[in-house]
Amino acid sequence: MFLLCVSASGQKENVPDEAVVMFYNCENFFDTDDSAETEDDEFLPGGVRRWNRARYTKKINNLSKVILAAGEWNPPALVGLCEVENRKVLDDLISLSPLTGLGYGIIHSDSPDPRGIDVCYIFRKDLVRVLQYSSLVPDSMPSGQFRTRSVLYSKLTILEDTLHLFINHWPSRRGGVLAGELTREAVADMVRENVDSIFTVSASARVIIMGDFNCNPDDDVMERLVNPGKTAVPVLVNMAGEFLDNSNGTYRYQGKWEMFDQIIVSGEMLNSLSGLSASPGSFSVFRPDFLLRDDPTYPGKTTFPTFYGYRYQGGFSDHLPVVLSLRLCR
């Protein structure tokens, strides 16, 4: 059989035949203004991090450099982001950096996280049309107890096909592996219930779940999300699963690489003969040399962050981004 994969370029001129989606933990993307609603004092000019306009501008330019480089000749169609303070920093990212003129739009909503850091995304208006979006929090948790990032859900079209997108930033493991575990489990169950509802309507629905999950693909809570029934043919596939070794990952802690940032897709997307398709090798960790530096404590390379503890480094982020290439087959 001859399989033809084309994109919206069959209908419009100058539209690429492939779309890149990306996720990036920005590491504390704060502006320099004091917000009365959030705990942002350390990211003020008079705060402990001495966060000023020059450092903020450098952060914007650094993030835009990563986004453009990850897309190579084709800027990413959609970029999921986390550790973003508010809508203003996103406006500045797409209007005060080399991203200006590429036609990026913004989807953002505030989370109940006390620091005010949110999940969100920017998208190319020439390739993506957002149909609806909402913030999701677990119904299973008592009111006021959920004090972390909500999950951002969107239904959209990309390369002429419909996609259901979930962007996550699960609670940290600071304080040990069990820290935040109940909340992570509640969020995993909530996302899975929403995905199952989508599959009930359409078993061939295109679904992408991306984010910083603060755990590895082989952790029990990820299995709870991806394959809770331990079925022979899971309807969700974690594209980051093959990267489980100490030489790969998106976050390095005490000399060991962790794969906290992941992209999960519906099984129907893998080598599909129609609609949005992703091949097994279409996922990667974006790790150019400029995002890495010598680890100051352990042998080998680590990420080049904006801060190392409270010491300003002028780098990009303490996480590496992940990317997934999509094609439209028909």
Residue-range domain boundaries for the chain: 17-329
SS3 127: coil
Task: Tell me how far apart the alpha carbons of residues 87 and 82 are, in angstroms, rounded to a whole number.
Answer: 12
> CB neighbours of 77 closer than 8 A, spacing ≥ 6?
19, 20, 21, 123, 124, 127, 128, 158, 159, 326
Please give the backbone phi and psi of residue 69, each rounded to the nearest 5 degrees, phi first.
-70, -35
Amino acid at 141: M
**Alpha-carbon dihedral sign for residues 79, 82, 85, 87:** positive
What are the tokens at 153?
A: 């859900």
How confident is residue 9, by pLDDT bands cut at 50, 70 and 90? Answer: very low
Mean pLDDT of the chain: 90
Alpha helices in the chain (DSSP H): 53-71, 87-95, 181-201, 220-226
Quick one: average pLDDT of 54-77? 96
Task: Tell me how far apart the alpha carbons of residues 58 and 55 are, in angstroms, rounded to a whole number.
Answer: 5
How confident is residue 147, by pLDDT bands cut at 50, 70 and 90? Answer: confident
Task: Tell me how far apart the alpha carbons of residues 233 and 231 are, in angstroms, rounded to a whole number.
Answer: 5
Amino acid at 242: E
pTM here is 0.93
pLDDT tens-digit map of 233-286: 668 999 998 876 767 899 999 999 999 999 999 999 997 888 899 998 899 999
Question: Which CATH architecture best describes the domain 17-329?
Answer: 4-Layer Sandwich (3.60)
Q: How many Cα atoms sit within 13 Å of 174 on the Cβ side?
A: 3
SS3 177: coil
Q: What pLDDT is stored for residue 37 in this prediction?
A: 83
Identify any residues that bridge with 256 across adjacent strands, giving them in sequence order: 253
| Separation of CA 77 from chain center | 13
Please name which of 48, 110, 66 lies closest in space to residue 84, comparing C-alpha atoms: 110
Residue 5 per-residue DSSP state = B
